[in-house]
Structures are given as C-alpha cells and as structure tokens.
Amino acid sequence: MKYLDEYRDEKIARGIVAELGRRATRPWILMEICGGQTHTLMRYGIDEMLPAGIELVHGPGCPVCVTSLETIDKAIEIASRPNVTLISYGDMLRVPGSRTDLFHVKAQGGDVRVVYSPTEALKFARAHPARKVVFFAVGFETTAPANAMAVWQAKREGLENFSMLASHVLVPPAIRALLSSRRNRVQGFIGPGHVCTVMGYREYEELIREFRVPIVVGGFEPLDLLEAILMLVKQLEEGRAEVENQYVRSVTYEGNLLAQKVLREVFEVCDRKWRGIGRIRESGLNLREEYAAFDADRIFGTVGVTAEEPAECISAEVLQGLKKPTDCSAFGTRCTPENPLGAPMVSSEGACAAYYQYRRHALTAKAEH
C-alpha cells in the first residue's frame, strides 16, 4: 500500500542494520518514549534485527499505562452513577482500578461508551440533553488538543450536560524525571513523533542542555525507528548530544501552533501522579478555572478520591526502562492480558502486552536452548 510499504521495506531495513553494525563500537542503551513505537518494535521484531549491544528499553509513553489508579477509580465512580454516560477511548475500559474496571461497570448497567474522537461525545451530549455526559480524557500532548477543542466548543455552545474528566500528561517532564533518577541507564531517546507533531521539539533542547543526552524525534513505522536508532548511535559514537528530527514528514521545529493555542486556552500545567512512577512536578494538564463548569472532577465531587497502589508487579521499573517485562516472575503466568496485574499488560501500547502478544515464542525458544 502506498505511503506504508515504503517504510516497511526489508532491503532498506537490512541496509540500516548493517550500517548500525559498522557504526556501533560499544554497547548503547536507548529508550523509545512512545507506546506506539514499542508496539511497532515488537510487532516487526526489530529487536531481533539489531546488532548485539544495542539495547532498547521501553518508556512510559503509554497513556493507558500511566493514568493513575485514582483517576481510573474516579471514572468508575462517575460511570456508576445514575443518569451519567461516560465516554472514552476503547483501551481505557479494560484498565483495572482498585476494585473493578469500566467493562464491568458497563456489564452492571452503567452507560459506558467508546468513541474515536471527543467530538463524538459532544454530539452525544447535544442529542441527549437529559443525560450528564462525561468524556474521560487521557493521553499525552497528542490527544490533548482535540479534547481541549471539545471543551472549548461546549463552552461556546453553552452545552451544560457535557463535562470532562481530564488526566493529560506531558512527555518532557517525564524524560526529566527519568534522567534525574539515580538508577537511570538510558543513554539516548527516540522522541515521540506524534507528540512533537503537536508541540514541535523546541522544549527538548532544554533537556539536552540539562542532561547532555541525544534525542531523535522518531516516527512509528519500522524504517522510521531503525533510522532514529542509527541517528542516535551516530551521535553517541561521535560524542554529540543534540535534538534531531527523523520524522520530518510530520514534525516541524515549532509544531502545530493552532493546536498549542487551544491547549493553552483550555488547559493549564499541573503536577500529576503517574501510575508506576509517582508524582512528577508540572507534568500534567488540567482544565483552567474559566472552564471549571466543565470539570467532571468538581461537578461530581471526586476531587479528593485517592487510591494506594499495592506492590504487586514491577511495572514501575518497566515504565522507567529499568527492567524488561520478561524480568517479571508473573509475566505470562499470573499476569496475562485476561488477568492483568498491571496496566502495561492491558493496552496494546503497553510494553508487557506487546511482549506477550508478539514475542512470547522467541522467549520460549531461548529458554529451550
């Protein structure tokens, strides 16, 4: 298929891998930030192709995985109330909260719906004025503008039965937190291509000044990722630490200014708790005071809901790239997509689920040899 097959070409891929082999004189540990990139790496078995010594660890860029337990609990509580329709993206329904998940709330009679776009939630709210329609808005800078636009539109229309449970997170503060950790192993980052399509990559320059670590903004197709890896290895081997842009067909330095404007209009930066990582300063987006009338957290009085996350699995270490999913003793046995112990096993973008879904055979083969 045009515009896809070009980025999945075996010959070119082998060429890049050969070049990597020539360039890399020592081992390097790289992290892809985005869960979509993890998914591609596993789905195409790119880890199988890389020269020995180039290790990829998987970052926290899976919106489902990092949404805090208490936020899930809030959504579950709101969805369980009469007269409420809770609308979200499909993946969110399976994420376990403290006691249940949204699929079970739906099975018990709660009105929980899946959409592809927040404007569908707006449409539903207009058509059902007697129902309180809540959009459960998660995700990084990628999904935030469309969600901001929905709230902006609702305010303009005076749509009183629409609100948003917003739990957006930001990438640069997460990278800062990872690099600040004493246990950090990552020597270079594949930057999140979709996030940077919206935000540009100016803000990543600051990280480089602070930490002297190369960042290459990468795409999501196999050749995008291989090229980004090669660009990182070249920088590391040459002792450079710069922001480079591999995903030029989508990402510009400034990003999408219109999207950034609506983001600033509707959201403000706040501290945010990340599942598996903990609280990170100024790492989230919440609705501004001017949009308080659309803030589901305030409308439904769930502001104070907290949840303690018990120490069952190693998702904290997985989300920080300190461990691989397969280092977990529960992987594939006590923790499976049917019975996830942690969020990374839920979403198709989660590192544990990606390993489980695509790479299990390679692991058993290794164990047998």
Partner 1 sequence: MPQQTKVDVALSCPVPIAATESILLGHGSGGRMSAKLLREILLPALQNPVLDRLNDQAIVDVGGSRIAFTTDTFVVKPLFFPGGDIGTLAVNGTVNDLAMGGAKPLFLSLALILEEGLPIDTLRRVMESIRVASALAGVVVVTGDTKVVEKGSGDGLFVNTSGIGLVSSGVRLSVDRACPGDLVLLSGTIGDHGITILSQREGLEFESAVHSDTAALHGLVAEMLRASGAIHCLRDPTRGGLSSSLNEIAERSNVSIELQECAIPIRDEVQGACEMLGLDPLYVANEGKLVAVVEPAAAESILEAMHQHPLGREAKIIGSVTDSHRGMVTLRTRLGTSRIVDLLSGDQLPRIC
Residue numbers 72-91 binding partner 1 by CB under 8 A: 72, 89-91
Interacting residue with partner 1 among 204, 217, 348, 351 (CB under 8 A): 348
Interacting residue with partner 1 among 22, 26, 83, 338 (CB under 8 A): 338
Q: What percentage of the chain's residues is helix, strand, coil (to nearest 5)?
A: 45, 20, 35
Interacting residue with partner 1 among 106, 126, 234, 323 (CB under 8 A): 106
Q: Is 260 in the site for partner 1 (CB under 8 A)?
A: no
How many CA atoms are closer than 13 Å to the CA of 194, on its beta-carbon side? 19
CA 46 to each of CA 93, 122, 223: distance values in angstroms, whole numbers, following the listed order: 30, 40, 10
Residue numbers 160-219 binding partner 1 by CB under 8 A: 173, 176-178, 180-181, 183, 194, 210
Name the minimum Å distance from CB 24 to partner 1: 19
Work out the widest C-alpha separation in the chain, in whole angstroms. 66
Spell 223-233 as b/e; 16+ CB within 10 A means b. bbbbbbbbbbb
Name the minimum Å distance from CB 115 to partner 1: 5
CA 336 to each of CA 60, 260, 312, 342: distance values in angstroms, whole numbers, following the listed order: 19, 38, 14, 9
Interacting residue with partner 1 among 52, 130, 303, 311 (CB under 8 A): 311
Q: Which of these ranges, 3-11, 23-31, 248-256, 288-296, lies near partner 1 under the rule CB under 8 A? A: 3-11
Name the minimum Å distance from CB 80 to partner 1: 14
Q: Is 6 in the site for partner 1 (CB under 8 A)?
A: no
Return the axis-axis angle of helices 118-127 and 144-157, rounded to nearest 10°: 20
Give the residue with the Cβ less far from partner 1, 98 or 302: 98
Give the residue with the Cβ less far from partner 1, 193 or 214: 193
Give the residue with the Cβ less far from partner 1, 122 or 216: 122
Backbone dihedral angles phi then psi of residue 81, each to the nearest 5 degrees: -80, 150
Interacting residue with partner 1 among 24, 33, 42, 231 (CB under 8 A): 42
Q: How many residues does the chain have?
A: 369
Q: Is 58 in the site for partner 1 (CB under 8 A)?
A: no
CA–CA gap between residue 339 and residue 96 (Å, rounded)? 9
CA–CA gap between residue 80 and residue 74 (Å, rounded)? 10
Count of residues engaged in binding partner 1, rule: CB under 8 A: 99
Q: Which of these ranges, 76-84, 237-245, 253-261, 277-285, lies near partner 1 under the rule CB under 8 A? A: 277-285
- DSSP H or E run through 75: helix 69-79
Name the minimum Å distance from CB 61 to partner 1: 9
Name the minimum Å distance from CB 302 to partner 1: 18
Q: Is 281 in the site for partner 1 (CB under 8 A)?
A: yes
Interacting residue with partner 1 among 54, 93, 149, 170 (CB under 8 A): 93
Q: Are 51 and 24 in contact (CB under 8 A)?
A: yes
Name the minimum Å distance from CB 48 to partner 1: 5
Q: Is 249 in the site for partner 1 (CB under 8 A)?
A: no
Spell 103-141 as b/e; 16+ CB within 10 A means b. ebbbeeebbbbebeebeebbebbeeeeebbbbbbbbbbb
Binding mask of the shown chain, residues 110 to 139, with x at each position contacting partner 1 by CB under 8 A: ---xxxx---x--xx-------------xx
Q: Are 170 and 199 in contact (CB under 8 A)?
A: no
